[in-house]
Structure 1
Amino acid sequence: MKRAVLLLALLVSSTASAADLVVDVTNVRSSRGHVRLSVCDEAHFGGEGCAYDGVADAREGVTRVIVHGVPAGRWAVQAFHDENDNEAFDQNFLGLPQEGFGFSNNPPLRGKPHYADSAIDVREPTTEISLRLRNSIFD
């Protein structure tokens, strides 16, 4: 019996800690499509290949997206409003966004955002943040 209790204690203590990251995305301009977001480490922030993703039906105003199982630590969030549901962040021929976009901590934009300006600390069991979508680069 003692051996089983010890084994169970070892298994529980060796599991990786993880949190639910709750993101309230504000300034969503319509209820069309979905709000998609990625939780990224520094190497992937501002691009593709982020470790964790979340999606929710868009709701005009505020859309809540929950990402389960994010390990505690330092992460940055990037989000966009996929109004046409093509699962891609649409840009025009000049590379300007055609859909709402945003980043954790709502950093000022002078080109691509910096990880240091958007990084947040995710802690167990739940971390809640808010980020504001920009519906143009001038927003």
Structure 2
Amino acid sequence: MNKPKLFIASASLMALLVSTNLSAAELIVEVENIQDIKGTLYFSLYKDEKGFNANENFVARQRVSVDKKTVQVNFGDVPAGEYAVKAYQDVNDNGKMDFNGAMPAEPYGTSSKSKEIAPPSFTSAKFTLDKNQKVQVNLLK
């Protein structure tokens, strides 16, 4: 390969590697002040309102055992964009979120700053991920 072609190929590869690095960021989600130190916390990361509202088509999902008052999960490198997080604590470890009628019987929360006990919305929970970021989720019960 001659020098100009080698230079162009090398420059193209470097540009691809740099642009991939710039378009992804590390996402850490944290829950503090957990009341019941037991069960499992489930986290789902959504990119759109439709998936968020239907609890499906999540971008990524994590789960962690609850053994202390503060829990963190690392979603790793996530492509830049707008996202929202939903979380719930499966206190009795039965693999699902329990309800009392229409109301959740187990702690739940979103990446929203709101502390209202109301159905969460993607709009209120969304955040822009464009750099390494830690997002708080407050569990409600």
Task: Give the TM-score range, shorter chain.
Answer: 0.7 to 0.9
- SS of 2:70's equivalent in the other structure is strand
- The residue number in structure 1 matching 2:108 is 101
Identity of aligned residues (%): 28
More displaced 10-residue stretch of structure 1: 40-49 or 2-11: 2-11
Q: What SS does the corresponding residue of 2:13 show, helix, strand or coil?
A: helix
Q: Which amino acid letter does the alignment assign opposite residue 118 of structure 1?
A: A
Alignment of 1:54-133 (within 5 A): 54-92=62-100, 94-109=101-116, 111-124=118-131, 126-133=132-139
Larger radius of gyration: 2
Could you list the runs of 5+ residues in structure 1 that have no partner in the other structure?
none
Q: Which amino acid aligns with 1:6?
A: A
- Structure richer in helix, relative to its length: 2
Name the counterpart of 2:14: 9
What SS does the corresponding residue of 2:27 show, helix, strand or coil?
strand
TM-score (norm 1): 0.80
The alpha carbon displacement at 1:27 in A equals 2.9
Deviation (angstroms), 1:78: 0.8
Aligned-residue RMSD, C-alpha: 2.2
2:33 maps to 27
C-alpha displacement of 1:2: 2.3
Question: 1:83-103 deviations in whole A, cap 9, x for unaligned?
Answer: 2233322213x1221211011
Is the contact made by 2:115 and 2:140 (CA closer than 8 Å) also made in structure 1? no
Deviation at residue 24 of structure 1 after TM alignment = 1.2
